[in-house]
Each structure stands twice: as structure tokens, then as C-alpha cells.
Amino acid sequence: MNVRLEQVGSCLILHNRSEKRGAISVELYQAIQEACARADDGSVRSIILTGGAFFCAGGDLDLLAKRAELPVDERRALIERLHDTIRAMMACPVPIIAAVEGGAAGAGLSITLACDFVVAAEQAQFTAAYVKAGLTPDGGLTHFLSQALPRQLAMELCLLARPISAERLANFGVVTTLVPKGQAFDQAQILTAELAQGPAQAQSRIRNLLNAAPNRTLSQQLDSEADFMAEAQGGAEAACGIRAFFEKRQPEFPT
């Protein structure tokens, strides 16, 4: 199988081994959505997305060329498969980590930026070369770029189709960790182990707040923070964390 899910402990790993450098596929969409859905059952604390030598090359231009023959509503419906996948990632209750070797392009970059953490090999390159094919970005790419990068750099990526290095993205905080070639997945697993030591409910609430913040007013965000904080203060995780603080030890949060 080109795409498969594997659970190791509390981490759900999605392997994408497409022959075309991890190219986007319906199979990949389905696997990502399934992984996000499985995170609801409490046994999953994090998700890693990983590929082969190249993380994800985006859309297959052979398939995109054939879509020109379809009516526009059918073309839009196919794009919505990607968008439903991005929505599932943003609504996922657990952190998602991209382990990037080689790089990510097009919609593959959208999927990368929809993750909460990006571990990338130092040689990895990221591109948004839609304009070279006379196309425009999809998968929320313009949203994520506008949130993560200065406007001029986003324009450089999208209008000039120039690749950007993992090192440069790390300087803007988009890449969480830079690693030598071949070590992205191992480092992602270290990160999942760190996350697994934390309070699951608090992590989920924080993720929800941060993802929702760009589309809310300050007043709306304050209301959501108040709701979550009031709920958290009465929970077992807060009792455990506060007790550990006063006892000057590391907390052991309930699972």
C-alpha cells in the first residue's frame, strides 16, 4: 500500500510512500481523515505524517491536466476533498507533526502548514509553484502563509515560485526543528513522546484556542478562553499539575 496507518503506543503514524514523491491522492486524503477521526477515542495522543525521500510533491499534474475536461462544479468537488482533509486536520483533537524529508510542494505544503509541528531535514525545500502551471493555490495555502510569513515572502513563494529552504522557514518559526538528512521521523517520535507526558485535555483545548484565534475577535477569544479555563480549573489534570508544582516535582498527568 502507498498509504498506511500504524499505531505505536499513543502515536498514530501515517506513512505516505507514493511512487511520485508522495504525491497527493484520494487515498492520502482518506487516511488523514481517518487518523483525525481515530484521535477521538482517547488512545491517540499525537499523529505523525511521514513520507519517503520526499514528504509530499502535491498534486499530480497528469491528473490535473485531465480535470480541464470536467465541468467546473466537478472540478470544485474534487478540490473540496483536499479542503475537507485540511478541515479535519484543524479540528483534530491531538497535535499533528509533519516529518519532512526532501521537501513539500503545492498542496503538500498546505498539509505541512496545517500540522502543529514541522520537523524537517536541513536540506528540505518547500515550494508553491502553482503559478508555473497557470494555477492558483488551494488547501488553505494562502491562509497559512499569510499567518506564518511576511506578506512579501509569501508573494515570493507564490508569484515567483521560488523554493524556500527549511532553514529559512525555521528562522520564522514555521519549522519547529531542523535535523540532519534522514532523521526527521526519529525526531518527530521524540516530540510525540514529549507530548505524551503532558495533559491531554489541556493540550486539546490549547490547540483549539490557537487554531480558532485568527478567525475570532478578541472578545470572542476571551469568551472561549474563559470557558476552557473555568472547565480546566475543576479537572483532574489541573489538580495533578498544581499539586506537583507545590511538591516541586514533575507532574504525572492522568491518562
Contact 55, 104 (CB under 8 A): yes
Residue 226, pLDDT score: 98
Over 70: is that where the pLDDT of 95 sits?
yes
- pLDDT value at position 1? 60
Could you tell me the pLDDT band of residue 68, with boundaries at 50, 70 and 90?
confident
> Tens digits of per-residue pLDDT, 2-11?
899 999 999 9
Per-residue pLDDT reduced to its tens digit, 99-147? 999 999 999 999 999 999 999 999 999 999 999 999 999 999 999 999 9
Top pLDDT among 69 and 101 is at 101
Q: For 180-195, b where at least 16 C-beta lie within 10 A, e where not — what string?
A: eeebbbebbbebbeeb
What is the H or E stretch that residue 127 is in? strand 125-127
Average pLDDT value for the chain: 94
The model's pTM: 0.93
Statement: residue 19 has pLDDT above 70: no
Q: What angle do CA 20, 68, 80 make, to 5 degrees?
A: 70
Q: Give the residue-averaged pLDDT of 89-102.
A: 97
User: Is residue 204 predicted with pLDDT exceeding 90?
Assistant: yes
Given this model, what pLDDT does residue 210 score?
A: 96
Secondary structure class of 72 (helix, strand, coil): helix
pLDDT of residue 248: 95
Copy the grid coordinates of residue 224.
472561549
Average of pLDDT values for 228-246?
96
Pairwise pLDDT comparison (25 vs 44), residue with the higher score: 44
